[in-house]
Structure 1
Amino acid sequence: MSTSVRRHLTRSRAWIHRHPRIRAPYRVLVAVAGIVVIAVGLILVPLPGPGWLIVFIGVAGLGTEFPAAHRLTRVVRRQAHRVRVWWRARRDRSTARAGASTTA
């Protein structure tokens, strides 16, 4: 995300939080949108495609306003990073083995 977009979103969120009459409906809107995205993702889980990714995007959306969802997003991101590191190491090992067997 570009710096100018992030700066604009930060200013917008600060403005919303300074106005209590807008803050409550905004939080309700974020909650409804996040739950809808999660529900769509859960419906798509058994089908081929990015079902779990959509679920995690919904939780990340909820995490913008709700601390528990933000904590869950951090845990999922940490686990995804560990899996990505493991997968790359596994791929590199198999590539090295394949390269060694073709030269021998």
Structure 2
Amino acid sequence: LAGLTLRENSSGQHKGQKHISKRGRKRLRYILFKVIVPLIRHNEGFKQLHKYYTTRQQNPLRGKQSMVVLCGKLLKVLHGICKKKVHFNEQNMMKDLYCLSEAA
């Protein structure tokens, strides 16, 4: 619903740039982006994820691309919190992420 999917405009040998699909609610994308900026700055889990996505060896993302991926992650976290009616626990979020356990 938010239109946060990263797409690449490619054909044959040509590799195009990645951008978000923007098929969804633009106000939701705007709010998520405004929320993710301070979240990356102040939350240790999201800060580590942002660092991982921008510095990984294979397919590193640029800053805003990483932020878009983290907006999707935030949507998934919020959905889980609402559905299961639990409080946010950073350790539980980090323990499920295999990409950070391999990098450490």
Which structure has the greater CA radius of gyration? 1
TM-score, structure 2 normalization: 0.27
Higher fraction of strand: 2
TM-score, structure 1 normalization: 0.27
Higher fraction of helix: 1
